[in-house]
C-alpha cells in the first residue's frame, strides 16, 4: 500500500498535507493559523486520528473561500454602483452594504471618493458648496438634505407649470439670488473632487450646474 495514502487516512496528516498546498500572500496567515490550531489540538491530547480535526479544517476552508469570493465580488461591484432615479435612501443602503462586504471603511477616503462618484454630479456639488462633508455620516446627511430640496423644487415647478405659476426661469433667478457669489465658489470646490476630464465636461457650465433643480 502507498505510504502516502496511508498518511492521508489519518485526519491530522490529511489536514496538514491539505494546508501545505495552499499558498499565497492573501492566505498565508490563514494557513498558519489553521496549522497552529491543529498542533495545539494534538498537543492538548486530541488524537491524530480524530476525524473532527479534518472536518474543522474543511469547514473553515469552505467558509474562508466563500468570504473571500464574496469580498472580491463586492470590491468589483461597488465601483459599478450608480444612483438611479431619485431614491437616494435605497442607494445609500445598497452602497453601505456593498462596502461592508468589500471590507471597506465607510469613512475611508477611497470609499468616500467612490461614493461621491456614484452620485449625480450636481448633488455632490451642492453638498460640497453648502456643507463641506468629511465623514460618511456627513456625506449621507448632506446628500439627503439636498436631494429632498431637489425633489421639493421639482414638484413645485411642475405644480406651478400646471397652475400657471412661477416659471423655470423665475425659479432659476430665485435660486441664484440666494448668494450671487455662491455658485462659482461651490462649483470650484466641487470640481476639486473630479478628474480633469470630468472638470472639462461638467464644471464650467452654470446652466448644467443648477439644472437639477429645474428639471
Give 116-163 pLDDT, tens digit per residue: 999 999 999 999 999 999 999 999 999 999 999 999 988 888 776 665
pTM over 0.75: no
Cell of 91: 442607494
Q: Where are the domains of the chain?
A: 3-77, 120-213
Give 77-111 pLDDT, tens digit per residue: 999 999 999 999 999 999 999 999 999 999 999 99
With contact defined as beta carbons under 8 Å apart, do 70 and 101 qualify? yes
**Distance set, CA 16 to CA 22, 45, 49, 56, 65 (Å):** 10, 17, 13, 12, 18
Amino acid at each position: 500500500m502507498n505510504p502516502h495514502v496511508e498518511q492521508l487516512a489519518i485526519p491530522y496528516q490529511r489536514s496538514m498535507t491539505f494546508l501545505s498546498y495552499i499558498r499565497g500572500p492573501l492566505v498565508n496567515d490563514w494557513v498558519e493559523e489553521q496549522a497552529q490550531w491543529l498542533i495545539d489540538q494534538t498537543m492538548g491530547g486530541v488524537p491524530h486520528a480524530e476525524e473532527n480535526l479534518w472536518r474543522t479544517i474543511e469547514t473553515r476552508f469552505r467558509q474562508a473561500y466563500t468570504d473571500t469570493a464574496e469580498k472580491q465580488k463586492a470590491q468589483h461591484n461597488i465601483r459599478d454602483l450608480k444612483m438611479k432615479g431619485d431614491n437616494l435612501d435605497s442607494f445609500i443602503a445598497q452602497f453601505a452594504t456593498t462596502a461592508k462586504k468589500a471590507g471597506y471603511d465607510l469613512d475611508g477616503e477611497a470609499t468616500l471618493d467612490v461614493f461621491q462618484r456614484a452620485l449625480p454630479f450636481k448633488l455632490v456639488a451642492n453638498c460640497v458648496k453648502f456643507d463641506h462633508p468629511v465623514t460618511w455620516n456627513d456625506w449621507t446627511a448632506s446628500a439627503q438634505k439636498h436631494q429632498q430640496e431637489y425633489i421639493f423644487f421639482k414638484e413645485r415647478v411642475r405644480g406651478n407649470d400646471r397652475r400657471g405659476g412661477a416659471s423655470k426661469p423665475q425659479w432659476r433667478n430665485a435660486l441664484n439670488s440666494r448668494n450671487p457669489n455662491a455658485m462659482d465658489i461651490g462649483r470650484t470646490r466641487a470640481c476639486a473632487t473630479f478628474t480633469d476630464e470630468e472638470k472639462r465636461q461638467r464644471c464650467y457650465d452654470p446652466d448644467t450646474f443648477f439644472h437639477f433643480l429645474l428639471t
